[in-house]
């Protein structure tokens, strides 16, 4: 329970500190840069996910074709 209290206190202090830092022009630029980099990262993850999904769908389609060919040869 004590650890949970310290976690909550830490989150609160961090929130207050971030809010105070964001009030300065340098702080705003910092958080804009962090936001920009986070968006780039998430876009890269989404692009990678979509590319891998397309690869897997193509592999499944190829496997289905092979299975259909094997069944038709019986």
Rg of the chain taking only CA atoms, in angstroms: 25
Q: Report pLDDT digits (tens) over 4-27.
A: 999 999 999 999 999 999 999 999
CA distance 2 to 48: 41
pLDDT for residue 74: 67
Q: Give alpha helix (H) positions in the chain.
A: 2-22, 25-72
- Cβ atoms of 22 and 28 within 8 Å: the answer is yes
- Cα 24 to chain centroid, rounded: 29
pLDDT for residue 14: 96
Q: Report pLDDT digits (tens) over 25-48.
A: 999 999 999 999 999 999 999 999
Q: What is the largest distance, in Å, between two alpha-carbon atoms of the chain?
A: 75
Does 73 have pLDDT greater than 80? no
Q: Report pLDDT digits (tens) over 48-67.
A: 999 999 999 999 999 999 99
């Amino acid at each position: 329970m004590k650890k949970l209290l310290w976690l909550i206190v830490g989150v609160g202090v961090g929130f207050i500190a971030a809010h105070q830092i964001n009030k300065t022009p340098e702080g705003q630029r910092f958080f804009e840069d962090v936001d920009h980099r986070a968006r780039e990262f998430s876009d890269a993850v989404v692009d990678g996910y979509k590319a891998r999904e397309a690869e897997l769908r193509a592999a499944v389609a190829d496997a289905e074709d092979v299975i259909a060919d094997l069944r038709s040869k019986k």
